[in-house]
Amino acid sequence: MRINSFFYTIGQGFKNLGRNKWYTLASIATIGACLFLFGLVFSIINNIQYFVHTAEEGVSVTVFFNEGVNEDQILAVKSDLEKRPEVREINYIDPEAAWEDFKKDYIGEYTDGFTENPLADSASLEIYLNDVSMQAALVTYIESLDVVRTVNRSEITADTLSGLNKLMAYVSMGIIVILLLVSIFLISNTVTMGIAVRKDEINIMKYIGATDFFVRAPFVVEGIIIGIIGSLIPLLILYYVYGSAIDYVHTQFAMLSNILPFLPVEQIYNELVPISMAIGIGIGFLGSFTTVRKHLHV
Amino acid sequence: MEKGFRKTKSGRQIPEGEVITLDHVTKSYSSGAPALNDVTLHIKKGEFVFIVGDSGSGKSTLIKLLLRELVPTNGEITVLGYNLNKIKHSKIPKFRRNLGIVFQDFRLLKDRNVYENVAFAQRIVQTSTREIKRNVPSILATVNLAGKYKSKINQLSGGEQQRVALARALINKPTILLADEPTGNLDPNNSWEIMKLMEKINESGTTVIVVTHNREIVNAMKKRVITMKKGVIIEDEEEGTYIDED
């Protein structure tokens, strides 16, 4: 292809946007509306998953040891447990440190009656998990160790969180798939109508001797530009809406901000921008490519 | 090879100087009688041919076959050495660049001006911008539209629109000009103007094939006339006239 023909087809793609203003606006509005909904659902789901994840990170298992088990043995168990994939972090709670904390928190200055550390046998391991659904298996393993006296865990929290996590994964997949299907249907309809209106133009081009590529290229360029604009607009709106929503929740419900952490918009957009752009451009490209193909056999 | 014959790209022998050959061509659609029934036709380079006949006589099907928009059900069509029965889809654009086409309804791009409509045909064959800038004003002058190159299509009269369509058909210097009812939407004055332009184009060596209903023009121009009825050629005569079928 000659270089000026290349620029001509690109130029025609841009000019087509102006020539078919209503079609362009309808397509951008459809893609924009679909991707706005997609972005909204994506942000909400990501935040819910983030809440769940944050809650999961707080779930710990505390392991207490039999009387007489010394620090070296406990540290050996610790390093053994650290090798397990479900374990994220283990803190060794020294009995002296535990007693100091206890005194500070509950007894204050009234410690004269204690000559010895009453928590001497309370050395423990505080285990945080990567995946709370693995808690039961880990606890069973730990309980089978000879040196272990007791294991404290919150079965209900762990089960609820892991169930919630699974449910969120299914629900989000379902919503996103439905949204994508609806978007593809709506957008391909818009593209089909827009191109059907220009069937004559395609026919003329074919009669004059245009190659399929030459006929298709301006439509595809047009589709891609519509895809880019159609994905950028909802991203910009959502950026503003998301920021405003977080500010609103933080100011109106200040107590919630400690309980419900929100993902920063930048973190959401790290994923949302490429996904939205890919969907917008992909649908613009495929929609125009396949619809023009129907009219090429003249 | 026999004297006076040449070999086509597909190896067939056709008479020297023949640009269109239909050899026992039949075109049937899914229902009803064939639109074209066992038609044999030879058109030489530089001829001016009228194809006349009532609606349903097969004229439009013939044009569509010549454009390779349709493929014959039986028989063989050769145009400019291309066997249209066997031509690959990817080769059709190259073949069509040898043809200029004019339609009754002009088929211009209404969102572009006169210059852009004509330049469009050159863009398709990848002519350089510099050549386009030289060729378009020249062809617009030939069809007497040099002063209207900036006009929008809907600002032009029917006759002017058909002249733009003619300029677009001619800009790539086609070997054959196919015109499907070119005067069908025009008043007598404009019709004559278009036909005179076509005659001029024919005199410069282009083969011109005109499908028409215009009895007055056919009878006045004294060209070859092929008359069709119900899918067959019923008359083919040099300097022919429009035959009344009633």
Q: Is A1 on the interface with B (CB under 8 A)?
A: yes
Q: How far is CA B204 from the centre of its chain?
A: 16
Stretch 64-83 of chain B: residues touching chain A, C-beta under 8 Å: 67, 69
Query: Residue A32: phi, psi to the nearest 5?
Result: -60, -45
Q: Is B168 on the interface with A (CB under 8 A)?
A: yes
Cβ-defined contact of A4 to B128 (cutoff 8 Å): yes
Considering only the beta carbons, identify the residue of A5, A210, A297 that sits closest to B93.
A210
Q: How far apart are CA B226 and CA B212, in angstroms?
A: 11
Residue in A290, A218, A298, A182 with CA at minimum distance from that of residue A20? A218
pLDDT of residue B119: 94
Higher pLDDT, B134 or A97: B134
- Cβ proximity of B39 and B233 under 8 Å: yes
For B24, the enclosing helix (H) or strand (E) is: strand B18-27
Residue in B69, B73, B77, B67 with CA at minimum distance from that of residue B30? B73
The single-letter DSSP state of residue A104 is I
DSSP string, A12-78: HHHHHHHHTHHHHHHHHHHHHHHHHHHHHHHHHHHHHHHHHHHHHHH-EEEEEE-TT--HHHHHHHH
Q: How far apart are CA A288 and CA B227, in angstroms?
A: 43
Cβ-defined contact of A208 to B111 (cutoff 8 Å): no
Q: How far apart are CA B168 and CA B166, in angstroms?
A: 5
- Mean pLDDT per 10-residue section of chain A, whose length is 298 residues: 77 83 86 89 86 78 85 87 87 80 72 67 83 82 87 74 79 83 75 75 87 87 90 95 87 73 88 92 86 78
pLDDT of residue B94: 92
Q: How far apart are CA A56 and CA A50, in angstroms?
A: 10
Q: Which residues of B touch A210 (CB under 8 A)?
A: 93, 124
Q: Which amino acid does the sequence have at A193?
A: M
Q: How far is CA A144 from CA A5, A138, A147, A150, A151, in A?
A: 76, 10, 9, 10, 11
Q: Is A205 on the interface with B (CB under 8 A)?
A: yes
Indicate the SS3 state at residue B241: coil
Considering only the beta carbons, identify the residue of B69, B124, B128 that sits closest to A205.
B124
Lowest mean pLDDT among A137-141, B70-74, B200-204: A137-141
pLDDT of residue A156: 66
pLDDT of residue A136: 82
**Number of Cβ atoms within 10 Å of the Cβ of A119:** 20
Residue with tokens 């069908």: B184
**Please, what is the angle between helix A265-295 and helix A212-252, to 10°?**
150
Q: How far apart are CA B141 and CA B148, in angstroms?
A: 10
Cβ-defined contact of B124 to A2 (cutoff 8 Å): no
The strand pairing partners of B208, in sequence order, are B48, B177
Residue with tokens 């001619």: B170
Rg (CA), chain B: 18
User: pLDDT tens across B154-165, in order?
Assistant: 999 999 999 999
Q: How far apart are CA A231 and CA A279, in angstroms?
A: 8
The size of the A-B interface in CB pairs under 8 A is 50
Cβ-defined contact of B101 to A206 (cutoff 8 Å): no
- Cβ proximity of B225 and B242 under 8 Å: yes
For A88, the enclosing helix (H) or strand (E) is: strand A87-93
How close A205 gets to chain B, by Cα (Å)? 7
How close B244 gets to chain A, by Cα (Å)? 33
Cβ-defined contact of A8 to B120 (cutoff 8 Å): no
How close A14 gets to chain B, by Cα (Å)? 14
Residue in B121, B216, B226 with CA at minimum distance from that of residue B168? B121
Q: Where are the alpha helices (DSSP H) in B8-113?
A: 59-66, 92-96
Searching chain A, which residue's CA lies closest to the CA of residue B129?
A4
Counting Cα atoms < 13 Å in the Cβ hemisphere of B39 gives 36
Indicate the SS3 state at residue A182: helix
Mutate to test the interface with A, among B70, B87, B106, B124 (most CBs of A within 10 A): B124
Stretch 122-151 of chain B: residues touching chain A, C-beta under 8 Å: 123-126, 128-129
- Cβ proximity of A17 and A26 under 8 Å: no
How close A240 gets to chain B, by Cα (Å)? 38
Q: Write down the pTM of the prediction.
A: 0.70
pLDDT of residue A109: 67
Q: How confident is the model at residue B82 (pLDDT cuts 50, 70, 90)?
A: very high
Q: Which residues of A touch B97 (CB under 8 A)?
A: 208-209
Cβ-defined contact of A200 to B94 (cutoff 8 Å): no
Q: How confident is the model at residue B13 (pLDDT cuts 50, 70, 90)?
A: low
Cβ-defined contact of A209 to B107 (cutoff 8 Å): no
Q: Is A188 on the interface with B (CB under 8 A)?
A: no
Residue in B236, B227, B240 with CA at minimum distance from that of residue B57? B227
The strand pairing partners of B49, in sequence order, are B209, B224
Q: How far apart are CA A11 and CA A221, in angstroms?
A: 9
Whether residue B168 has pLDDT greater than 90: yes
pLDDT of residue B10: 57
Mutate to test the interface with B, among A14, A17, A204 (most CBs of B within 10 A): A204
Highest mean predicted confidence (pLDDT) among A173-182, B27-36, B79-88? B79-88
The contacts of residue B126 (CB under 8 Å, 6+ apart) are A1, A2, A5
Q: Where does residue A76 fall: left (phi above 0), alpha (psi -120 to 50 degrees), or beta otherwise? A: alpha
Searching chain B, which residue's CA lies closest to the CA of residue A203?
B107
- Cβ proximity of B30 and B54 under 8 Å: no
Stretch 15-44 of chain A: residues touching chain B, C-beta under 8 Å: 19
Token pair belonging to B54: 């009532």
pLDDT of residue B11: 63
How close B134 gets to chain A, by Cα (Å)? 16
